[in-house]
Amino acid sequence: MAPLGGRERGVEGVVDACCGHALLGLGLCERGARTLAIDRSAAECERALENVDRARKVVGDDVASRVEIRLGDGLGECPEARDADVVVVAGVGANTMAKVLESGGLGLCSSADERSTSPSTARLVLNPPAKDGAATRRWLAENGWTIRDEKLVVENEIMHLVVSAERDAEIDTPSSMPLSVRDEIIGPVLGEGTASESPLLKLYVTKRLEWLREVRRQASLSAQRLAKKQEKSDSEYQSVEALKEKIAGYDEMESVLLAAIGVDVEEQRRNAHAHLEQQILRSYDGFDLKPGILAYKTVDPEESDGRLAYCREFLSESEASELMSSLVSSPPVDWAQRSIVCWQPQENTKKEVVQPRLVSWAGDIAYKYSGQTLEPVPVPDVLRRLQTKVEQVTGERFNHILLNRYRDGSDSMALHADDEPELGRNACIAAVSIGHVRRFDVQLKSKAKKKMSIFLENGSLMVMDRSLQHSHYHGVPKVTCAQDVEGERINITFRLLKGPPGWRED
């Protein structure tokens, strides 16, 4: 085969670096090009040779003689690639593609020497899977190539990208401007299109969004997990910071992708907020709510007389935020993540588990629950005042305060009943919530499907009384919606312990 270089008039010299069965190369030759088709797999090369033979019979010697099949790994042993008009890398992911191109000296030239001997390849045509689009564009920009054209194609139900790029004039520096977020994840050419007019582009953007949301979810879970570790090494602190930076980048990418399919991020945020507000209001059905007034509702009248009461704006916003800062910044109580003993129904055994939240307590009397005993500690003034206010509104008396601090949406409290013997029968439990709104589930013990939920807002008071602890479980589930995972909440529960641990009502 004649050398590919020299830019033979009217004949394009192509190197197909991962040729597989060489169908692409043959197609190009049929259109008048000359192709050197390389593959690292001997089996693929054999198939390719069979296809060349077949082509010879069907379309003639002229076409078949313009393709050469060669066994080889990458472009390292392919001097022809240096002055080919076009180098094609198709059907491999961005990492392999980068290795193949770099093996042929098509990456960035870092020294003057390299520059003087660098290949004169004019154009790259790359065909990665669509999911590798951003990595491909990043490699091109970092290695001195400018994207001239991009197309989306679907083959065997997999979406691929075809990118055509030309050498920048300055091949010793990466493209002077770093790629914008849009140019990297959607592409400079595809980004010019309107998703509403191109179903394929819309699908591409939607798939990117799905991927992005998943990686962001994983990153924020890792960040939360690390941030919650009580003793962190320096590198763990750095990882939390790095993850936070990544998450901010993902948020920016999400806005760009949403804009490309005509979604206004601010509007979406407003809609999500309005949706949550609606859910919150709907959860108050059956309560005759007036701000500052405690409204009672019998949860399942046909099953028990257990009641739930709710009061919005029991504390004003400023009272709630003052209380929050006094409990968090210079806490008058000691926060700890404790281990409790839990029944594991699957294994039919008891097991020690770490509570997914911080707890603290104060009171005049010890409290025993879930295999642990909380020794009495003096009630700080700020909580003593709150207790008085709760006692006034509920008409009840309390002597023990248990505080639960949910650092974010991944902290939770499993379904349980506060039915310890020391609380006596039909205990009244009152709880003030401050900070992020959280859903509170109440479920009939005898019928798991019978469940109600009520959202406990900042500054609210909730009361459970009569037989509710005997007929129902309650709990605070994890928040699954990505938007809502941030946000701290503290719940301050007031109980009346009738006696020390071991006390029982006659």
Q: Least distance to ligand AKG from the beta carbon of 308, Å? A: 12
Q: Name residue, tokens 């879930």.
A: 370
**Got the DSSP string for 447-467?**
-TT-EEEEEE-TTEEEEEETT
Backbone CA torsion sign across 166, 171, 176, 177: positive
> What span, in angstroms and rounded, lies between the C-alpha atoms of 69 and 58?
18
Closer CB to ligand AKG, residue 193 or residue 409?
Answer: 409
Closer CB to ligand AKG, residue 227 or residue 340?
Answer: 340
Segment interacting with Fe ion (CB under 5 A) among 366-374, 378-386, 411-419, 442-450: 411-419
Q: Least distance to Fe ion from the beta carbon of 483, Å? A: 27
**Binding of residue 420 to Fe ion (CB under 5 A):** no
Residue 453 near residue 401 (C-beta atoms within 8 A)? no
**Binding of residue 492 to ligand AKG (CB under 6 A):** no
Among the listed residues 462, 496, 465, the one whose alpha carbon sits nearest the alpha carbon of residue 476: 462
Per-residue 3-state assignment (H helix, E strand, C coil) for 71-113: ECCCCCCCHHHHHCCEEEEECCCHHHHHHHHHHCCCCCCCCHH
Alpha-helical runs (H) found in 133-198: 133-142, 181-185
**Binding track, positions 357-376, relative to ligand AKG; x by CB under 6 A:** --------------------
Closer CB to ligand AKG, residue 103 or residue 491?
Answer: 491
Q: Give the residue closest to ligand AKG by C-beta.
A: 491
**Binding of residue 441 to Fe ion (CB under 5 A):** no
**Got the DSSP string for 22-38?**
SHHHHHHHHTT-EEEEE
| Beta bridge mates, 351 | 342
Closer CB to ligand AKG, residue 139 or residue 440?
Answer: 440
Q: Least distance to ligand AKG from the beta carbon of 322, Å? A: 20
> What span, in angstroms and rounded, lies between the C-alpha atoms of 455 and 442?
11
Closer CB to ligand AKG, residue 360 or residue 491?
Answer: 491
Closer CB to Fe ion, residue 237 or residue 343?
Answer: 343
Question: Residue count at the site for Fe ion (CB under 5 A)?
Answer: 1
CB atoms within 10 A of CB 469: 23
205 burial level (CB within 10 Å; 0-12, 13-18, 19+): buried
Query: Which partner in Fe ion, ligand AKG, none is near 402 (CB below 5 to 8 A by kind)?
Result: ligand AKG
89 Cβ partners below 8 Å, 6+ apart? Answer: 17, 18, 97, 100, 101, 124, 125, 126, 127
Rounded alpha-carbon distances, angstroms, from residue 204 to 109, 195, 207: 33, 9, 5
Query: Which partner in ligand AKG, Fe ion, none is near 476 (CB below 5 to 8 A by kind)?
Result: ligand AKG
Closer CB to ligand AKG, residue 165 or residue 402?
Answer: 402
* Phi/psi of residue 287, nearest 5 degrees: -105, 135
**Binding of residue 402 to ligand AKG (CB under 6 A):** yes
> What span, in angstroms and rounded, lies between the C-alpha atoms of 226 and 254?
24
Q: Least distance to ligand AKG from the beta carbon of 359, Å? A: 8
Closer CB to ligand AKG, residue 34 or residue 466?
Answer: 466
* Phi/psi of residue 413, nearest 5 degrees: -135, 125
Q: Least distance to ligand AKG from the beta carbon of 357, Å? A: 8
List binders of ligand AKG among 410-469 (CB under 6 A): 413, 418, 431, 440, 456
Q: Which of 183, 468, 493, 496 touches ligand AKG (CB under 6 A)?
A: 493
**Binding of residue 474 to ligand AKG (CB under 6 A):** yes
Among the listed residues 203, 215, 198, the one whose alpha carbon sits nearest the alpha carbon of residue 254: 215
Query: Which partner in Fe ion, ligand AKG, none is near 66 (CB below 5 to 8 A by kind)?
Result: none
Q: Least distance to Fe ion from the beta carbon of 206, Å? A: 42
Closer CB to Fe ion, residue 314 or residue 440?
Answer: 440
**Binding of residue 320 to ligand AKG (CB under 6 A):** no
Closer CB to ligand AKG, residue 182 or residue 312?
Answer: 312
Question: Residue count at the site for ligand AKG (CB under 6 A)?
Answer: 11
Give the distance from CA 227 to its chain's centroid: 16
Q: Least distance to Fe ion from the beta carbon of 292, Å? A: 24
| Beta bridge mates, 490 | 405, 434
Q: Which of 355, 404, 460, 469 touches ligand AKG (CB under 6 A)?
A: 404
> What span, in angstroms and rounded, lies between the C-alpha atoms of 353 and 343?
10
Q: Which of 73, 168, 396, 418 touches Fe ion (CB under 5 A)?
A: 418
Closer CB to ligand AKG, residue 138 or residue 474?
Answer: 474
**Binding of residue 471 to ligand AKG (CB under 6 A):** no
Interface contacts to Fe ion, rule CB under 5 A:
418
Interface contacts to ligand AKG, rule CB under 6 A:
402, 404, 413, 418, 431, 440, 456, 474, 476, 491, 493
